[in-house]
Structure 1
Amino acid sequence: MDQHARTEEMFVAEPGTSFDVLVLGGGSGGYATALRAAQLGLTVAVVEADRLGGTCLHQGCIPTKALLHAAEVAESARDSERFGVRATFDGIDMAGVNAYKDGVVSGLYKGLQGLVRSRKVTIVEGYGRLVGPDAIEVDGVRYTGTHVVLATGSEPRTLPGLEIGGRVLTSDQALRLDHVPGSAIVLGGGVIGVEFASIWASFGVDVTVVEALPHLVPAEDASVSKAMERAFRKRKISLSLGDRFSAVTQDDDGVHVTLESGATLHADLLLVAVGRGPRTAGLGLEEQGVTLDRGFVTVDENLRTGVGNVYATGDIVPGLQLAHRGFAQGIFVAEHIAGLSPTSIDETTIPRVTYSDPEVASVGVTEEAARTSFGDDAVETVEYNLAGNGKSKILGTTGFVKLVRRKDGPVVGVHMVGARVGELIGEGQLIVGWEAYPEDVSTHVHAHPTQNEALGEAFLALAGKPLHAHD
């Protein structure tokens, strides 16, 4: 949909209009702020240079997970005989995959447009710049707000001397590929790199992941990282861990990546997946007194910047760069502006999911972090192997549930690896958030046969009465 058509569907601001809440950025944090503030009776405008929904809807969470589902279907077709189903896998039609992905995004985008329209949120199209503690300028036109919310999101990072272009891609370009490469190097073993490596491996690509740290998904519990590495190697994904990028060249034959160890890797494409940085440059923030730390906006416990009534949400605020975190922060800010005194967001209870094959899901602290905080003798852990779970056996997945608790105290971490475990983390979030004891959870009956039952079995084990525990 072109920009003019979008404008016709939205409430458009007249130049010089003043609002109760003026939001810069229409991603997860920005539109959540707008929708909740409008719901609370405040007048709201969102300044957006591209499309509502931001990175998550258009270049991140949704299109990536659509590709991951297509990858899962490809794997199911390959493995069909294992289940007694006669099917054939004839390859990947990227035009068809992209049409499916774009259809998912389009449907959600239309739904978001409808929500914004129903709440009478005003849209200002164009690149905005903060020009005062209560003002944003767009294409030379000034708009004011009693409260201003910065929600400009993030963009892919690169490394010094590593230029994007040609055969060197970020996730933005990778989502728009119109073909399946024969081989690919993924630089970065975090969430984005692991997810693309998983997608491409399922599509038949020869994939190598390069990670400077010793493990994949290094922010996760060490046992989860090691399980991921075993699973990826079993899938024939090559891993180069603990080795840093040094240089890259490209020609008609492909990309040629040199590592600090002296090793040289060759492939059709190089995906640079070394994280995302805050999109705050050139927005006039520092000129108005907003404090930046390595590009991130410094805020207090109420997400206020300390400059007038200027707030910040989402990926530009230091911490987890997750769409659901930005969404929650947007609701918090809107309610704070409306005087509702909302409860501050506890970052330790925000769930994290990597949607690869296998999936990783976690909430709370890792075993290492718990031992650092509470002492080695004050921490207990248990791992429940999915080999003992009926539904996991049916699905053909391996992995485990790992629980971390303070000795004689509450559970402080839930960590899982295996197919579909992202769907289980909601219960883990409640357990950690409500500081539940293993004895509290072990008395609850979990449905059989479900993967959710694995959580119940893990808590039985941690409560001292394991029934199906596997070493």
Structure 2
Amino acid sequence: MTDILRPRVLVVGGGPGGYVAAIRCGQLGLDTILVEASRLGGTCLIRGCIPSKAMIHAASTFATMSSAASAPCFGISLASAPLLDMGGTIAWKEKIVDRLNGGVGALLKRAKVKVIEGWGQFSDAKTCTVETVDGAVVIQADHVILATGSMPVELPFLPFGGKVISSTEALSLPELPKKLVVVGAGYIGLELGIAFAKFGVEVTVVEAADRILPLYDGKLVEPVRRWLDKHGVALLLGAKALGERGDGLAVETADHEQIVLPADHILVTVGRKPLTEGWGLAEMALAMEGRFVKVDERCATSTTNVWAIGDLVGEPMLAHKASAQGEMVAEIIAGKRRRFDPVAIPAVCFTEPEIVSVGLGPDAPDTVAGIFPFAANGRALSMEAGDEGGFVRVVARASDRQIVGIQAVGAHISELSAAFTTAIEMGAVVDDITGIIHAHPTLGEAFHEASLKILGHAIHI
């Protein structure tokens, strides 16, 4: 007879939502089991956020060296072009992933969380059978936290396989393709497309909408579009992918002309969907909200003591949102009063240049905005990032000047996302930011100057 494990908390999914929830449960003294079918860290750590940023960094380094080999840069030149060993680059990326994966395991162990490797299947809302290498394990928990994450959307006329790949395969290609066609000009497609372009790949992006990064406003996106044009990345906007044809992708252009784009690989990045299949969602009888599991402001589902977090419960499908929800649910189970009600959640796009958006945009009613360009920022100019069209924009309520949104585009601007989000979460008004002495020379001075612009007396423009 199979033994039944009866923990206080069962967490299903070891991504940034699940492992954070499990660690916090352990810290709070709750007997906790975490079930993960693959590797700890989930999509973000193993095949998404972390490996993609590593590849972007490697690609940027290669591009800088290639540029120095063709023409002197800051007085620096190379006698010959750099050589790329893609296998070596992938191995370096995997070392980072392995290190972080091991770190997550160590943190869970320190929190006294039991980790079971295997695929979990629910027979009812509180009973889960996990198929492990050593046989089946049955778990019946008082509380269940669902953190199953998401998966790439597959197009019916472009199923994954062969030369059609998702972001997962794109991050582990043993050799660089000569020609890459990217379907989808959202943040995943452009992040990877730009990285491959920096590696010297001929990249074409196919997008059904009439602009790239449609979730961001046009002014914020314009520096990225300019970079793509400058570096020879072909954009087919208002175009429809039709499917594989011969050695490439058949596309209907905005002019209704059908063409075939030659491609060694076709990277499909048209979004992600919650992972709701294969683990017994139907047997749990949870209420749904469209394709997502329906939850309230505490991430409670329609079934008592069953919780759901992260990509499983809706937009924004971001790792840091999942982590915040996981920590919150753990504290609720431990008896604390919590609810998920952030003022704003930052979104970062690691394109060239980077984009940050937090809170409301400049088109929000009854608001005023101040913009400061990096062309007037000494730190940006000193690292060759002042002439790419970057800026910081602060959006405030017209009535009381409380900051309700901040957007920025520029080199390394992702590192200011914490400052931007803190200002909005703490209810800062423009005068709070202008009253802070910002270090010089830093990119953060643009935040100060954009706030001064709202008051009508920016210093450096």
Q: TM-score, normalised by structure 1?
A: 0.91
**Amino acid of the structure 2 residue aligned with 1:403:** V
Q: Which residue number in structure 1 is paired with residue 122 of structure 2?
A: 130
1:256 paired with 2:249, answer: yes
Residues 299, 307 of structure 2: 8 Å contact kept:
yes
Q: Which residue number in structure 1 is paired with residue 346 of structure 2?
A: 351
Counterparts in 2 of 1:15 and 1:85: CA distance versus 1, 3 Å? farther
1:54 paired with 2:42, answer: yes
Residues 181, 268 of structure 1: 8 Å contact kept:
yes
Q: Which residue number in structure 2 is paired with residue 208 of structure 1?
A: 204
CA RMSD of aligned residues (A): 1.5
Residues 215, 226 of structure 1: 8 Å contact kept:
no
Q: Which residue number in structure 1 is paired with residue 8 of structure 2?
A: 20
Q: Which residue number in structure 1 is paired with residue 75 of structure 2?
A: 84
Which residues in structure 2 correspond to 1:267-278 (within 5 Å)? 267-278=263-274
Match of 1:406 among 363, 374, 397: 397
Question: Alpha-carbon deviations, 1:399-441, whole Å to 9, x = none?
Answer: 1112222213312111111110000111110112122221111
Q: 2 CA distance for matches of 1:213 and 1:438?
A: 35
Q: 1 CA distance for matches of 2:171 and 2:369?
A: 39
Q: Which residue number in structure 2 is paired with residue 30 of structure 1?
A: 18
Deviation at 1:343? 4.4
Q: Which residue number in structure 2 is paired with residue 433 of structure 1?
A: 425
Q: 1 CA distance for matches of 2:358 and 2:169?
A: 31
1:446 paired with 2:426, answer: no
Which residues in structure 2 correspond to 1:20-169 (within 5 Å)? 20-80=8-68, 81-87=72-78, 88-139=80-131, 140-169=136-165
Match of 1:364 among 351, 359, 366: 359
**Amino acid of the structure 1 residue aligned with 2:92:** Y
Question: Alpha-carbon deviations, 1:65-116, whole Å to 9, x = none?
Answer: 0001101111221344221123343232101111110111111111111111
Q: 2 CA distance for matches of 1:429 and 1:167?
A: 40
Which residues in structure 2 correspond to 1:210-359 (within 5 Å)? 210-250=206-246, 254-259=247-252, 261-264=256-259, 265-346=261-342, 348-359=343-354
Q: Which moved more, 1:414-423 or 1:433-442?
A: 433-442
Q: Which residue number in structure 1 is paired with residue 176 of structure 2?
A: 180
Residues 133, 308 of structure 1: 8 Å contact kept:
no
1:194 paired with 2:190, answer: yes
Question: Alpha-carbon deviations, 1:141-186, whole Å to 9, x = none?
Answer: 3201110000011111122222111111101111110111111111
**Amino acid of the structure 2 residue aligned with 1:108:** L
Q: Which residue number in structure 2 is paired with residue 388 of structure 1?
A: 376
Unaligned ranges ≥5, structure 1: 1-13
Counterparts in 2 of 1:363 and 1:338: CA distance versus 1, 3 Å? same
**Secondary structure of the structure 1 residue equivalent to 2:8:** strand
Residues 62, 82 of structure 2: 8 Å contact kept:
no
**Amino acid of the structure 2 residue aligned with 1:269:** H
Unaligned ranges ≥5, structure 2: none
Q: 2 CA distance for matches of 1:114 and 1:345?
A: 31
Counterparts in 2 of 1:222 and 1:104: CA distance versus 1, 3 Å? same
Q: 2 CA distance for matches of 1:379 and 1:268?
A: 48
**Secondary structure of the structure 2 residue equivalent to 1:224:** helix
Count residues with an aligned counterpart. Answer: 445
Deviation at 1:292? 2.7
**Amino acid of the structure 1 residue aligned with 2:376:** G
Question: Alpha-carbon deviations, 1:33-63, whole Å to 9, x = none?
Answer: 1000000000000111111111011000110
Question: Alpha-carbon deviations, 1:253-299, whole Å to 9, x = none?
Answer: x3232225324222221100011111111322123211234431111
Q: 1 CA distance for matches of 2:82 and 2:296?
A: 55
Residues 286, 292 of structure 1: 8 Å contact kept:
no
Q: Percent identity?
A: 38
Q: 2 CA distance for matches of 1:56 and 1:266?
A: 31
**Secondary structure of the structure 1 residue equivalent to 2:450:** helix
**Secondary structure of the structure 1 residue equivalent to 2:235:** strand
Q: Which residue number in structure 2 is paired with residue 4 of structure 1?
A: none
Q: Which residue number in structure 1 is paired with residue 448 of structure 2?
A: 456
**Secondary structure of the structure 2 residue equivalent to 1:416:** strand
